[in-house]
């Protein structure tokens, strides 16, 4: 069975229809119906292959494949070992501002949320945070900010990157989408990775969840990873916020997006993240909850079909799940994270976090637990001289 044409990574930049999977020309309903019809035999055949197609990816995320998780784990583990050895790279996020002019209904930083518990760090405070993170042994940093362009401008971000590059070998960004010139400025300042989640690939739902602010522009966000790759960013992180929409539909869209990016920007490496919504207060009800088993099936399918790509697992997930998933899928994980600006160097009590954490272990405890399962924690796999 072929779910979509082998030419599927076909961009449709001005796609106006709702419920059509971006980057492929097929209606979501058709795709989901076909996934439901995939028989066990197709899953077995896909698992026996060395080179998997987009149709095999569909088999592995199908309802039938949920009965094949042990076989999928075995195949994914072998591929993870082949491409990354028995290692996982550790990084930490540094939140520099919890102000945001957007109003994403699922996020603790949304503009409608309380203002009195927000914080924006100055350059000296960012340096202090960086030094506190460095003391934990972390050498790879992800700088995170809400959309706060008056204060967290491109020129300020460039200063931040230059300052943090004095402390860290690798600096990446998770910020609002920029024009090509903005990405070039930050790449030239020393940032080498960019993460930008589409949140949901479903255009109609996206409009509902982002009722105000610049983030309302679906296409501008969808095309941001391509603009960053064009500016030279080596690592491009993409993903959907799981729990907003049917996870199988999001998986198909994410795979199509990644395939298109890989084909067009082969010098950049794709990094997948699979963040599940965690409660932050404010009464947002998760519309399409994703179970741990479904999350694992999705991650295994990505590891098997995109074996050389990075897969990240954050502290949103429990330590039990993280310890399991680094053996089969994830080669990147955050540790000792604070999701509050100033959370590493000062007390963050009462301050607003972007999401809740399930794994609150220290970096040392994470390293210790990884060693117990035969995995080496890698703190440095990038040098400042690279890409200088």
Please say which residue, 109 or 168, places its beta carbon nearer to ligand SF4: 109
- C-beta separation of 354 from 107 below 8 A: yes
Options 26-34, 64-72, 96-104, 216-224: segment touching ligand SF4 (CB under 6 A): 96-104
Position 146 contacts ligand SF4 (CB under 6 A): yes
Q: Which two tokens stand for residue 83?
A: 């491409």
Strand boundaries in the chain, DSSP class E: 87-97, 140-145, 170-174, 193-195, 235-239, 269-273, 310-313, 332-334, 376-378
What mask of x and - would describe binding to ligand SF4 in positions 202 to 231, judged by CB under 6 A?
A: -------------x----------------
**DSSP one-letter code for 281:** S
The C-alpha atoms of residue 257 and residue 265 are separated, in whole angstroms, by 12
The nearest distance, CB 100 to ligand SF4, in angstroms, is 3
Please say which residue, 215 or 262, places its beta carbon nearer to ligand SF4: 215
Applying CB under 6 A, among 8, 95, 109, 382 the residue interacting with ligand SF4 is 109
Position 110 contacts ligand SF4 (CB under 6 A): yes
Applying CB under 6 A, among 54, 102, 195, 314 the residue interacting with ligand SF4 is 102
Applying CB under 6 A, among 28, 42, 129, 147 the residue interacting with ligand SF4 is 147
Position 143 contacts ligand SF4 (CB under 6 A): no
Query: How many residues can be counted in the chain?
Result: 388
The C-alpha atoms of residue 293 and residue 317 are separated, in whole angstroms, by 12
How would you classify residue 374: left for phi > 0, otherwise alpha for psi between -120 and 50, otherwise beta?
left
Query: How big is the site for ligand SF4, counted in residues (CB under 6 A)?
Result: 9
CA 259 to chain centre: 16
The C-alpha atoms of residue 37 and residue 4 are separated, in whole angstroms, by 14
Please say which residue, 73 or 215, places its beta carbon nearer to ligand SF4: 215
Among residues 211, 273, 221, 271, the alpha carbon closest in space to that of 242 is found at 273
The nearest distance, CB 182 to ligand SF4, in angstroms, is 16
Please say which residue, 107 or 326, places its beta carbon nearer to ligand SF4: 107
**Interacting residues with ligand SF4 between 253 and 312 (CB under 6 A):** none
Please say which residue, 146 or 239, places its beta carbon nearer to ligand SF4: 146
Options 100-108, 118-126, 307-315, 338-346: segment touching ligand SF4 (CB under 6 A): 100-108
Position 99 contacts ligand SF4 (CB under 6 A): no
Q: Which residues contact 252 (CB under 8 A, 6 or more apart)?
A: 3, 21, 24, 31, 57, 58, 61
For 99, 174, 286, 339, the CA distances from 93, given in Å and listed in that order, are 16, 9, 24, 7
- C-beta separation of 235 from 387 below 8 A: no
Options 11-19, 64-72, 102-110, 131-139: segment touching ligand SF4 (CB under 6 A): 102-110
Please say which residue, 31 or 277, places its beta carbon nearer to ligand SF4: 277
Which residue's structure tokens are 């309802």? 63
The nearest distance, CB 108 to ligand SF4, in angstroms, is 7
Which residues are at the interface with ligand SF4 (CB under 6 A)? 100, 102, 104, 107, 109-110, 146-147, 215
């Amino acid at each position: 069975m072929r779910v979509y044409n082998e030419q599927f990574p076909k961009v449709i930049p001005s796609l106006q229809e709702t419920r059509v999977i971006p980057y492929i020309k097929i209606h979501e309903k058709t795709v989901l119906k076909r996934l439901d019809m995939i028989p066990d035999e197709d899953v077995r055949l896909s698992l026996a292959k060395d080179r998997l197609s987009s149709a095999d990816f569909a088999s592995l995320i199908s309802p039938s494949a949920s009965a094949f998780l042990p076989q999928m784990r075995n195949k994914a583990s072998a591929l993870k070992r082949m491409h990354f050895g028995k290692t996982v790279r550790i990084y930490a996020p540094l939140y520099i501002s919890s102000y945001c002019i957007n109003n994403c209904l699922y996020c603790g930083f949304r503009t409608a949320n309380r203002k009195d518990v927000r914080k924006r760090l100055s350059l000296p405070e960012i340096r202090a945070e960086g030094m506190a993170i460095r003391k934990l042994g972390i050498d790879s940093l992800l700088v995170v900010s809400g959309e706060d362009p008056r204060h967290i401008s491109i020129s300020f971000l460039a200063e931040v990157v230059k300052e943090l590059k004095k402390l860290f070998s690798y600096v990446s960004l998770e910020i609002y989408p920029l024009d090509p010139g903005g990405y070039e400025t930050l790449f030239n300042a020393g940032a080498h990775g960019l993460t930008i989640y589409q949140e949901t690939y479903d255009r109609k739902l996206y409009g509902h969840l982002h009722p105000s602010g610049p983030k309302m522009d679906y296409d501008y966000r969808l095309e941001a990873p391509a603009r960053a790759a064009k500016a030279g960013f080596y690592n491009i992180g993409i993903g959907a916020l799981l729990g907003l929409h049917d996870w199988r539909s999001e998986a198909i869209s994410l795979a199509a997006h990644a395939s298109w990016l890989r084909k067009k920007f082969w010098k950049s490496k794709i990094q997948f993240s699979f963040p599940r919504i965690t409660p932050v207060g404010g009464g947002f009800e998760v519309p399409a909850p994703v179970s741990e088993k479904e999350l694992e099936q999705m991650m295994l399918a990505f590891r098997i079909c995109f074996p050389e790509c990075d897969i990240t697992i954050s502290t949103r997930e429990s330590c039990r799940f993280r310890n399991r998933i680094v053996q089969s899928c994830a080669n990147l994980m955050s540790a000792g994270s604070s999701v509050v600006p100033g959370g590493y160097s000062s007390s963050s009590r009462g301050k607003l976090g972007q999401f809740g954490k399930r794994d609150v272990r220290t970096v040392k405890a994470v390293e210790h637990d990884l060693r117990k399962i035969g995995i080496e924690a890698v703190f440095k796999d990038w040098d400042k001289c690279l890409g200088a």
